[in-house]
Chains A and B, each alone.
Chain A
């Protein structure tokens, strides 16, 4: 690759949990309220970093839970290609400009590389996007800084789901398309989901801290590529099924080492906000 021809530049890469509680903020214990505050502070720090990096566009890798998408057509991979991003959750309405030029280039480029990605010009987003970006935009002082946003759905929650290795390879392909683009664009990446939790199952309330630490240590060491070998079974067994979105990001940043901004072992989830050294 000739770096001089690369016009799209990745100026930041981050990953975060996306639970509904991040925005709903149920007042059920002082400890949980304190932990959520730590997560909010970390997400606002992500927002400040994105603003300082002067990112034009944030590509958000998220995963739907039969909210945005329905059983009349449930996609494995779907790229938002419209002009405006929108959605409502917990009394908050997200409205941001999107980036149809870049998303169209990604769509065509990914299909050329063998990823048959669906697309949509219109979506109603839910908590996987809105819970964390509410705080990210707050940190970035949303009113004075209006980044564009491209949501990218990676099915992690409704079986059958994309394989972990495929999620990682998708990230590498996204990077290849971005590196080959002639568009003038500063891009930040944000993956949402995880870490260990068991929502809606009889294991709800269990948090596999050991599994979280395993993932965190690999990411900190710049060995995220090793995590592409994890299996669907392993991810479900340890409550790490949403780590697929993180794997896509890890692929896109060539397994760059991660800095953990915060990790909070809350009563129902391992909350983690990470920044990757791009």
Chain B
């Protein structure tokens, strides 16, 4: 069974809220770039969620069970991966499937 876009685990609800705000609200997006800790506190992230965000590691976030869209909002929009060189964005070239 290969489900990549799975059920959004409710334990990450605040993380999802942060991701959505980064996507929808330019002010949150800018503040996230300037002071991540303050924004994470504002969104009441748990310590586990904060560690995931601090990692800026899409693979780690995915393995933890975070929705891929939240990963995209946080890493590609919040951390600005979308403007990075293509090779740096191509996750699958940087990891081995056995790591998943």
A202 and B95 CA atoms in complex are apart in Å by 7
Q: How many residues of A contact B (CB 8 A)?
A: 34
The one of B8, B23, B24, B83 that contacts A71, using a Cβ cutoff of 8 Å: B8
Chain B residues positioned under 8 Å from A28 (CB to CB): 83-86, 89
Mark the stretch among A78-86, A93-101, A157-165, A216-224 that contacts chain B. A157-165
Cβ A65 vs Cβ B83 within 8 A: no
The one of B1, B83, B89, B92 that contacts A203, using a Cβ cutoff of 8 Å: B92
Chain B residues positioned under 8 Å from A24 (CB to CB): 82
Shortest B45–chain A CB gap in Å is: 16
Interface string of B15-28 (1 = CB under 8 A from A): 01001100110000
What are 27 A-B pairs with beta-carbon distances under 8 A? A21-B82, A26-B83, A28-B83, A28-B84, A66-B16, A66-B20, A66-B67, A67-B20, A70-B20, A71-B8, A161-B5, A198-B92, A199-B68, A200-B62, A200-B68, A201-B71, A204-B58, A204-B90, A205-B86, A205-B89, A205-B90, A205-B93, A236-B2, A237-B4, A241-B5, A267-B89, A268-B86
A206 and B91 CA atoms in complex are apart in Å by 8
The one of A21, A71, A161 that contacts B13, using a Cβ cutoff of 8 Å: A71
A200 and B59 CA atoms in complex are apart in Å by 9
Does residue B43 face the partner (Cβ distance < 8 Å to A)?
Answer: no
The one of A20, A71, A202 that contacts B62, using a Cβ cutoff of 8 Å: A202
Cβ B69 vs Cβ A66 within 8 A: yes
Cβ B84 vs Cβ A201 within 8 A: no
**Identity of the chain A residue whose Cβ is nearest the Cβ of B74 in the assembled complex:** A200
User: Assuming A200-B72, A202-B59, A204-B90, is B13 touching A159 (CB within 8 A)?
Assistant: no
Identify the interface centre among B3, B10, B70, B84: most chain A CB within 10 Å of its CB: B3
Cβ A205 vs Cβ B92 within 8 A: yes
Instruction: List residues of chain A with CB under 8 Å of any chain B CB.
Output: 20-21, 24, 26, 28-29, 32, 65-67, 70-71, 126, 157-161, 198-206, 232-233, 236-237, 241, 267-268
Chain A residues positioned under 8 Å from B7 (CB to CB): 158-160
Chain B residues positioned under 8 Å from A20 (CB to CB): 82
Chain A residues positioned under 8 Å from B70 (CB to CB): 66, 200
16 new A-B contacts, CB < 8 A, other than A29-B86, A201-B71, A201-B91, are A26-B82, A66-B69, A157-B5, A158-B7, A159-B5, A159-B7, A199-B69, A200-B68, A201-B58, A201-B68, A202-B58, A202-B62, A204-B91, A206-B90, A237-B2, A267-B90
A168 and B69 CA atoms in complex are apart in Å by 25
Chain A residues positioned under 8 Å from B5 (CB to CB): 157-159, 161, 236, 241
Chain A residues positioned under 8 Å from B19 (CB to CB): 66
DSSP class of B's interface residues: helix, strand, loop or mixed? Answer: helix
A71 and B5 CA atoms in complex are apart in Å by 15
A159 and B7 CA atoms in complex are apart in Å by 5
Shortest B65–chain A CB gap in Å is: 12
Does residue B34 face the partner (Cβ distance < 8 Å to A)?
Answer: no
A21 and B72 CA atoms in complex are apart in Å by 13
A66 and B18 CA atoms in complex are apart in Å by 12
Chain A residues positioned under 8 Å from B95 (CB to CB): 202
